[in-house]
Chains A and B, each alone.
Chain A
Amino acid sequence: MKLSEVDAVIVGAGGGGGVVAHELAVAGWRVALLERGRRQKFGETGHDELRSQRTTVLGNAFGPDDERHFRLVRAQDGESWRRVLPSEGPYGNVAACVGGGTLSYGAMAWRFLPQDFRMRSTYGAVEGSTLDDWPVSYDDLEPYYEKAEWTIGVSGKGGSNPFEGTRRKNYPMPPLPLNTEASMLAPAARKLGWHPFPIPMAINSVERDGRSGCIGCPHCVGFACEVDAKNSTAVTVIPKAVATGNCDLRTECVVKEVLLDATGRATGVAYFQNGELVEQPAKIVVLAASATETARLLLNSKHKLHPNGLGNNSDWVGRNLQGHAYSGATGVFETETWDGLGPAARIACCDFSHGNDGIVGGAMLANEFIRLPYLFARSQHPPGTPRWGREHKKIQRELYRRTTGIKGPVQEMPMWTSRVEVDASARDHWGIPVLRISGQKHQRDVRAGQFIADRAAEWLRAAGAVQVWASVTGRGVSGGQHQAGTCRMSAEKKTGVVDASCRIHDVDNVYIADGSVHVTNGGFNPSLTIQALAFRTSERILKQQKI
């Protein structure tokens, strides 16, 4: 079936795609917004830990399903490939539903720091890494961070983070109040000479935009918000885009490839809906399907002018897959630290994001988001204690409310060999070539992770923890919820996939609006940066393209 042409087709109704749909629809463009997942409501999944985005042991509540999807990951022998399901960790899933990752994310809304855009200039070359500067600076992006904070809705305290770059405007909402952990950790950090501040959150601290303020339930990350106080694109920009009458949101549409004409230019996309192959012609194509799936789409869009896949004439598509080398520490306290007031993550500091001796980059440190009974039982007991039996149950009971975790998303050194490709023979439910993932983290990430874990432990001890243990990243390849880097932004065609407008170097009408374009991924949760870039890219599209 071939549909009539739209001005723009956007693949992926997540954090980035939702923003672009809004901006183009408001400008009067006719937009088709395609999402492989469904619209989801809180009541479908509630607070069920075992299907949450946090544990997924009984499947991904927010998609994709285990029945129709799989990927291949490099097996330990370094030769063969192992099949993994979306609910299994190595799949590196983010989410597949309207709102994408933002429906179930924790909603930390960070601006990267100025140095995060200039890693090569700040630290020099790093052996074995493709570390580089972004072709855009913090100052270039600052107005779009502001736009994202005010359009999406972020609560926070402007000026409270002394390491942040120039900020012209405060947050639209005051910060959420401190909980027990944050009230205990803030003075401890100050005692150490550090600079703690309330975490900026894309969560309504007060009623805003027709939606409730946060009710303080402890289920933020991993779950949808029962009162829509969490500002996912599913409750903010996407409904507004649809309300213009210009945006057609189509769910359960699995895009196969970008369609190309004889000159190699994009003419739309082909997708499967209800078993039927549909062609959606469009003047402009915007890919916002996540760092893994956007790369897969490009690699699956072959043409005589793009023999290795669209945008891949310099062999950068799918490379530099990165996430964060999370590291931190857990502490046991004599008194209860967990008060059930969510979001639990309330306090952070950026004293160790940069300028650490012998370390390239670093991480923001924050107290842990959420405590779930199964997850706690499996992964948060003190090291060396029994994994089952009477003693395990006793520890579970005695420590659940007396432990506190602090960790940081350690900035990774991008690796040319950490990558996604499409497999030559494996096919998914729709017959589309399947992704395969290989590579590992840089040795330096482990060193940085150890440093950050030591600082987390120091913070916990200063706050009175009586027992502290560290957790340091391994070298397994990243991806997952913070996946980035696979379609690098670059000034030169030879050293990346998209230009500074996030338009593919090789063709003039395909743009990317997700974490794929990140040259480096900062030492922060990346969603606000993805969204700020999406606002900027939308503005570029409206300037560069005639409809």
Chain B
Amino acid sequence: MGISRRTLIAAPSVAAAAIAQSGMFSASDTEWLGAIVEQIVPTDEFPGAREAGVVTYIQRQLAGPLKRFRGAYSKGLDEMKKATPGFLTLSFDQQTAYLKTIESTPFFQMVADHTMQGYYGDPMHGGNRDRVSWRMLKVDKFMDHGPWKGHRHEAE
């Protein structure tokens, strides 16, 4: 193996420090966060949070209006990687069961809140790709910008 045990253990905190400083996720962070957000809004007959771009949403907001949460992301991901290093290898249902054990933690509640923002908010912020949640709720025609395309216009 070209990688020492020591490097492996150190890796999460290096990645975490990167989030805290720049708000940028490492590839590992993106993978972990993708799995978590996918649990929060899973894929069913409509795409889930990962496919809808929720990690991009969170990443972009941590570089802007939500930068005060950078430290919480780095600490939370770091702790989760340490506490459950095999999380990514678990089945979907096993991941659900694990997250239920931490659902009342401030970290999980923060991620859940930001996931809902990214999934149900305006696609301009990086999530809700192709207006997926709006189409799911059948409100897409009401939600867009610019000249409103609601049913009064439709009737005309």
Q: A residues within 8 Å of B by Cβ?
A: 43, 46-50, 57-59, 66, 87, 215-219, 226, 340-341, 373-374, 376-378, 387-390, 392-394, 396-397, 400-401
- Chain A residues lying within 8 Å of B51, measured Cβ to Cβ, are none
Shortest CB-to-CB span from B118 to chain A, Å, is 9
- Chain A residues lying within 8 Å of B120, measured Cβ to Cβ, are 49, 373-374, 376-377, 396
- Name 26 A/B residue pairs within 8 A (Cβ), A-sorted: A46-B122, A47-B143, A48-B124, A49-B143, A50-B117, A50-B122, A215-B148, A215-B153, A216-B151, A217-B150, A341-B151, A373-B134, A377-B120, A378-B113, A387-B103, A387-B112, A388-B39, A388-B40, A388-B112, A388-B115, A389-B42, A392-B41, A393-B44, A393-B46, A396-B120, A401-B138
Shortest CB-to-CB span from B66 to chain A, Å, is 7
Would A340 and B139 be within 8 Å (CB), given that A46-B145, A48-B122, A373-B133 are in contact?
A: yes
- Chain A residues lying within 8 Å of B152, measured Cβ to Cβ, are 215-216
Q: Max chain A CB contacts within 10 Å: which of B115, B122, B138? A: B122
- Chain A residues lying within 8 Å of B133, measured Cβ to Cβ, are 373
Whether, in the assembled complex, B125 has its beta carbon less than 8 Å from a beta carbon of chain A, the answer is yes
- Chain A residues lying within 8 Å of B112, measured Cβ to Cβ, are 387-388
- Chain B residues lying within 8 Å of A378, measured Cβ to Cβ, are 113, 116
Would A400 and B137 be within 8 Å (CB), given that A218-B142, A378-B116, A388-B41 are in contact?
A: yes
Q: Which residue of B lies closest to A67 (CB)?
A: B65
Rounded to whole angstroms, the CA-CA distance of A160 and B65 in the bound complex is 46
Q: Which residue of B lies closest to A65 (CB)?
A: B65
Rounded to whole angstroms, the CA-CA distance of A388 and B133 in the bound complex is 15
Q: Which of B127-156 contact A (CB under 8 A)?
A: 133-134, 136-139, 141-148, 150-153
Q: Is the CB of B139 within 8 A of A393?
A: no
Shortest CB-to-CB span from B77 to chain A, Å, is 18
Rounded to whole angstroms, the CA-CA distance of A396 and B42 in the bound complex is 13
Q: Is the CB of A217 within 8 A of B137?
A: no
Shortest CB-to-CB span from B40 to chain A, Å, is 4
- Chain A residues lying within 8 Å of B147, measured Cβ to Cβ, are 226
Rounded to whole angstroms, the CA-CA distance of A388 and B42 in the bound complex is 9
- Chain A residues lying within 8 Å of B115, measured Cβ to Cβ, are 388
- Chain B residues lying within 8 Å of A376, measured Cβ to Cβ, are 120
Q: Is the CB of A397 within 8 A of B121?
A: no
Would A393 and B41 be within 8 Å (CB), given that A47-B144, A58-B61, A378-B113 are in contact?
A: yes
Of the residues B103, B142, B146, contact of A340 by C-beta under 8 Å = B142
- Chain B residues lying within 8 Å of A226, measured Cβ to Cβ, are 147-148
- In the A-B complex, the 7 residue pairs with the smallest Cβ-Cβ separation, listed nearest first, are A46-B145, A373-B120, A374-B120, A217-B148, A50-B121, A58-B65, A388-B40
- Chain B residues lying within 8 Å of A389, measured Cβ to Cβ, are 39-40, 42, 96
Q: How many residues of B contact A (CB 8 A)?
A: 41
Q: Which residue of A lies closest to B114 (CB)?
A: A57
Q: Is the CB of A49 within 8 A of B39?
A: no
Shortest CB-to-CB span from B1 to chain A, Å, is 37
Of the residues B44, B124, B151, B153, contact of A390 by C-beta under 8 Å = B44
Shortest CB-to-CB span from A495 to chain B, Å, is 43
Shortest CB-to-CB span from B84 to chain A, Å, is 18
Would A397 and B136 be within 8 Å (CB), given that A218-B150, A389-B40, A389-B96 are in contact?
A: yes
- Chain B residues lying within 8 Å of A66, measured Cβ to Cβ, are 65
- Chain B residues lying within 8 Å of A392, measured Cβ to Cβ, are 41
Shortest CB-to-CB span from A49 to chain B, Å, is 6
- Chain B residues lying within 8 Å of A87, measured Cβ to Cβ, are 65
Shortest CB-to-CB span from A262 to chain B, Å, is 46
Q: Is the CB of B42 within 8 A of A390?
A: yes
Shortest CB-to-CB span from B15 to chain A, Å, is 24
Would A57 and B117 be within 8 Å (CB), given that A373-B137, A396-B137 are in contact?
A: yes
Q: Which residue of B lies closest to A372 (CB)?
A: B120
- Chain B residues lying within 8 Å of A387, measured Cβ to Cβ, are 103, 112
Would A393 and B153 be within 8 Å (CB), given that A50-B125, A374-B120 are in contact?
A: no
Q: Max chain B CB contacts within 10 Å: which of A378, A389, A392? A: A389
Shortest CB-to-CB span from B76 to chain A, Å, is 16
Starting from the known contacts A215-B150, A216-B152, A226-B148, 13 additional A-B residue pairs (CB-CB under 8 Å) come to A48-B124, A49-B120, A215-B148, A215-B152, A341-B150, A373-B137, A378-B116, A388-B41, A388-B112, A389-B39, A390-B42, A393-B44, A401-B138
Rounded to whole angstroms, the CA-CA distance of A49 and B128 in the bound complex is 13
- Chain A residues lying within 8 Å of B141, measured Cβ to Cβ, are 340
Rounded to whole angstroms, the CA-CA distance of A77 and B75 in the bound complex is 26
Q: Is the CB of A47 within 8 A of B145?
A: yes
Q: Is the CB of B150 within 8 A of A340?
A: yes
